């Protein structure tokens, strides 16, 4: 057996990998498999032994938004939106700074009133990232946001549809070098006949209706040859969001902004958003994303970063935690250990270079994850084996696992 594997308590109540092999236990198969992954010169994990597929992004135009490139081969851009009263300049500026520090590359604000747009000039000057103004109903708010220096505005075809005013906005944006996102939502895409929703429009598939609404609106931009254009079509329904954006990707080269409307709290919204946005990104569709949650928008940035890192569309900047699914083979209660490690790593914050930590509890997945992770714990009865870069370091008592993992992460981060 390869000496690098070290000793481990397996699910057959043996005391080492050697004992497992001698006993011809199920662990022996795992040992043999892992021996095949490890070369004599040192450990070799899955990523070194296997060719992983990569996502091929679609071809799209590049739009410069205040120095941030969207599309045209640029990395997928993370956006978020403040939930403060925009007119409260200090509160809004502070939240923008927190979002930028968390990883947001563009931040959108609500430009609902003249009081909101009155502070935008100062907000733009104070912001570490480009500011996007979200405008509905009032064309004047769009013109004021452009004049204040916002890098991009968002227009909704469902509530700013006067052609003359839209042309006026396009002209102002052209002169200022301001980008425009034309975004349709399911909530405002169906027209009204008096107080009632248009029954003929309701009879059409929602995705088709959204594409039609967007296409009609874009004729105004096409006649003006306006190029700094980003498109979006959002629904609360993940399948509809996927369908409409697939169609937009076929029709247009403009960059696409992906999102799910009123996705919910972080608990439910993360799943809904990952289902829609993740599916599209995996197909190479989408040049910028916002994951929408009710509550603290910092959670949006965290979720968006994790989604992009999971798809290998962005390099991790912190710690990736891989945890055992905790089945009946466990000989230690790992759930509290995993939760304590996760909390401690969160408190540690970002580390460089990125570090992968695996907390495993049996020989089925433990050996492979230990070989592949930067830091790994393989837990047995009352103790665990600590690995660094696939090399056994030492045995660790149950009560010392969290401290041992943190020490190893710090060692790697410090370059030792």
Q: Residue 40 has what pLDDT?
A: 32
Q: Residue 295 has what pLDDT?
A: 87
Q: Residue 365 has what pLDDT?
A: 65
Domain assignments of the chain as residue spans, ordered by start: 3-52+317-413, 63-310
Which residues have C-beta within 8 Å of that of residue 39, sequence separation ≥ 6? none
Q: What is the tens place of the pLDDT at every residue in 297-318?
A: 999 999 999 999 999 999 877 7
* Confidence grade of residue 122 (pLDDT, cut at 50, 70, 90): very high
CA 412: distance to chain centroid? 25
Q: What is the tens place of the pLDDT at every residue in 38-75?
A: 333 333 343 444 578 899 999 999 999 999 999 999 99
d(CA 302, CA 87): 26
Backbone angles phi, psi at 349, to 5 degrees: 85, -160
Superfamily (CATH) of domain 63-310: Dihydropteroate synthase-like (3.20.20.20)
Query: Is residue 22 predicted with pLDDT exceeding 50?
Result: no
Which residues have C-beta within 8 Å of that of residue 233, sequence separation ≥ 6? 183, 184, 185, 207, 210, 211, 214, 241, 244, 245, 248
Among residues 95, 111, 103, 215, the alpha carbon closest in space to that of 154 is found at 111
Q: Residue 12 has what pLDDT?
A: 35
Q: What is the tens place of the pLDDT at every residue in 239-286?
A: 999 999 999 999 999 999 999 987 678 888 899 999 999 999 999 999
Query: Is residue 104 predicted with pLDDT exceeding 70?
Result: yes
- State which H helix or E strand residue 44 sits in: none
Q: Are 402 and 396 in contact (CB under 8 A)?
A: no
d(CA 135, CA 163): 16
Q: Are 94 and 109 in contact (CB under 8 A)?
A: no
* Confidence grade of residue 356 (pLDDT, cut at 50, 70, 90): confident
Mean pLDDT, to the nearest integer, of 320-328?
A: 81
Looking at 3.30.1330.30, 3.20.20.80, 3.40.190.10, 3.30.413.10, the CATH number of the domain 3-52+317-413 comes to 3.30.413.10
Which residue in the block uniquely carries the two structure tokens 């003006």?
224
d(CA 389, CA 373): 6
Q: Residue 6 has what pLDDT?
A: 39
Q: Is the dihedral of CA 127, 129, 130, 131 positive or negative?
A: negative
* Confidence grade of residue 201 (pLDDT, cut at 50, 70, 90): low
Which residues have C-beta within 8 Å of that of residue 223, sequence separation ≥ 6? none
CB atoms within 10 A of CB 110: 19
Starting at the edge strand found earlier in the chain, the sheet holding 229-234 runs 229-234, 179-185, 152-155, 131-134, 106-110, 77-81, 288-289, 257-258
Q: Residue 265 has what pLDDT?
A: 85
Query: Is residue 121 predicted with pLDDT exceeding 60?
Result: yes
Q: Are 364 and 345 in contact (CB under 8 A)?
A: no
Per DSSP, helices labelled H in 161-297 are: 163-176, 186-189, 199-202, 206-223, 238-251, 266-273, 279-282
**Mean pLDDT (the chain, rounded):** 83
d(CA 412, CA 151): 40
CA 294: distance to chain centroid? 16
Q: Residue 184 has what pLDDT?
A: 93
């Amino acid at each position: 057996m390869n000496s690098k594997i070290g000793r481990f308590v397996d699910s057959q109540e043996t005391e080492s990998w050697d004992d497992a092999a001698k006993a011809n236990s199920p662990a022996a198969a795992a040992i043999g498999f892992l021996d095949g992954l490890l070369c004599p010169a040192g450990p070799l994990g899955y990523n070194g032994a296997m060719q992983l597929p990569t996502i091929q992004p679609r071809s799209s135009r590049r739009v410069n938004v205040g120095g941030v490139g969207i599309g045209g081969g640029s990395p997928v851009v993370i956006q978020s939106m403040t939930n403060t009263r925009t007119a409260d300049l200090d509160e809004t500026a502070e939240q923008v700074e927190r979002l930028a520090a968390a990883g947001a590359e563009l931040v959108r604000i609500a430009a609902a009133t003249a009081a909101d747009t009155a502070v935008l000039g100062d907000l733009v000057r104070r912001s570490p990232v480009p500011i996007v103004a979200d405008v509905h109903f009032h064309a004047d708010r769009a013109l004021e946001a452009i004049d204040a220096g916002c890098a991009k505005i968002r227009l909704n075809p469902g509530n700013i549809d006067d052609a003359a005013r839209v042309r006026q906005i396009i002209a102002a944006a052209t002169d200022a070098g301001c980008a425009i996102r034309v975004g349709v939502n399911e909530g405002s895409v169906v027209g009204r006949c008096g107080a009632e929703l248009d029954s003929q429009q309701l009879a059409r598939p929602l995705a088709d209706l959204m594409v039609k609404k967007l296409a009609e609106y874009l004729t105004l931009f096409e006649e003006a040859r306006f190029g700094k254009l980003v498109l979006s079509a959002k629904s609360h329904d993940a399948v509809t969001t996927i369908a409409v954006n697939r169609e937009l990707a076929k029709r247009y080269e403009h960059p696409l902004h992906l999102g799910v409307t009123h996705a919910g709290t972080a608990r439910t919204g993360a799943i809904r958003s990952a289902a829609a946005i993740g599916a599209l990104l995996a197909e190479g569709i989408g040049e910028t994303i916002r994951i929408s949650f009710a509550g603290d928008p910092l959670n949006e940035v965290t979720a968006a970063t994790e989604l992009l890192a999971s798809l290998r569309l962005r390099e991790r900047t912190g710690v990736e935690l891989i945890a055992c699914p905790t089945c009946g083979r466990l000989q230690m209660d790992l759930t509290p250990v995993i939760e304590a490690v996760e909390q401690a790593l969160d408190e540690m914050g970002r580390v460089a270079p990125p570090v992968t930590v695996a907390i495993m509890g049996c020989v089925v997945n433990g050996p492979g994850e230990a070989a592949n992770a930067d830091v790994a714990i393989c837990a047995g009865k009352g103790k665990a084996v600590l690995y660094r870069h696939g090399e056994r370091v030492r045995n660790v008592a149950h009560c010392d696992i969290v401290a041992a993992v943190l020490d190893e992460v710090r060692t790697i981060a410090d370059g030792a």
